[in-house]
Structure 1
């Protein structure tokens, strides 16, 4: 009797654990707190520059909202918000199916917006795949994908010409550099070797002249000394 009770308890536990594991695998993971906060900061900058509110919404297959946010903050929607007369939002629905089901996992991504963007919504939606934000990305990492898609909208509206790009701030013009001194005549540059040789020969000649003059002066000095000595001996002889 006790053995049968134990077997039944074990089977119930195994079934419960398996069901809980399967349920966890069907849960759509939201973006992390860091991803949400970073996305809000980026969307806030874009909204200030473009005067357009941006947001995101991630739902589970049954319709439950997993995550939402915008430039207004985490959990705040831009839809019909008084501070956002012009707005765009990425809305994604991800549905994970049990392994026992023949149905496949499903991800649907749409871009919603205020009336003035009506004719741009489909193009914006299809352009997200250029950033790698296709259905496979939303199934693999739905939280990361939906926040990145919201940030990408601000780039796509500029590309579409809906808003003008932020003007580039340029520095003050730099004063024109002073002109270089005028170059010498090419005549001298072309004959520079000849001039250097001639200058060297002149210097050698001058040096030889100076040496000759010094030597001659010494000879004259020596002759004068000899003459004085000769006169001295002549006086003594008298």
Structure 2
């Protein structure tokens, strides 16, 4: 073989080797793309579910003792010598006051005792009060009476003192053993709860007082009245109990689910057309 032919043969062999080495990689099929996309969307969906679960599994901030606080929050027992120069404590709305009065009136019928409540602003020293006899009507006008006394004070952002709250019970002379702050904490009424929402905390404490008195043996058990009254928060100032992050997680779960279904049908239709 001549030198010219040998050069041509070598060049042809080199070209074939390059062709083999540079051969394009096979493209993934449409079905492979479909299952990859489904896997990604399912992973996103599982992540949102885990996030929502962790948010709902958080312990409520009103559990534990009266002085219990959550990490990063600064609450303390109300002290009359502390300067509370922050916001003014919210006022009871007419609806909330009437609802609380109606609940206490049912308890007065059951026990024959006037039940009252008061909420004092640690800054202005002004007191909102009411009883089973009505808003702004003190329970002390009755011969037998009990009153749940709440005080809340807010400090300014630049203050070195924490916000404060306190709760105690006063009553007519026949009642010698009265609930203390830690007893109310078992109902969910502690310093963080009162500082966050004084109105709901006061209502909850006032409606829960008869239950604590019965538990301690100070008041006898009575038959259920026609209207069942439970100590529940009234007129929650902070709005919904579900936080914005929780709603975000829920909407994310729904959006991921919809995305998974739509993407799945779209890729499946493309795969069928390409087949």
TM above 0.5, yes or no, is yes
1:102–1:168 Cα change, 3 Å: closer
Q: 1:37-75 CA deviation, whole Å, 9 max, x = no partner?
A: 111011001011101111111111145334210001001
Q: Radius of gyration: which is bigger?
A: 1
Unaligned runs of 5+ in 2: 1-83, 226-275
CA positional deviation for 1:101: 0.9
Q: Tell me whether 50-59 or 29-38 shows the greater mean CA deviation.
A: 29-38
Looking at structure 2, the residues matched to 32 and 155 of structure 1 have their Cα atoms a distance apart, in angstroms, of: 25
**2:90 alignment counterpart:** 29
Is 1:60 paired with 2:121? yes
**2:160 alignment counterpart:** 102
Question: How many equivalent pairs are there?
Answer: 142
Higher helix share: 1
Paired residue for 1:148, among 204, 226, 233? 204
CA positional deviation for 1:31: 2.6
Query: 3-state DSSP class of the match of 2:186?
Result: helix
Which structure has the higher relative contact order (CA within 8 Å, separation 6+)? 2
Query: 3-state DSSP class of the match of 2:158?
Result: coil
| TM-score normalised per structure 1 | 0.55
Structure 2 matches for 1:86-165, cutoff 5 A? 86-118=144-176, 120-121=177-178, 123-165=179-221
Unaligned runs of 5+ in 1: 1-22, 170-238
Asked if structure 1 preserves the Cα contact closer than 8 Å seen for 2:152 and 2:194, the reply is yes
**1:51 alignment counterpart:** 112
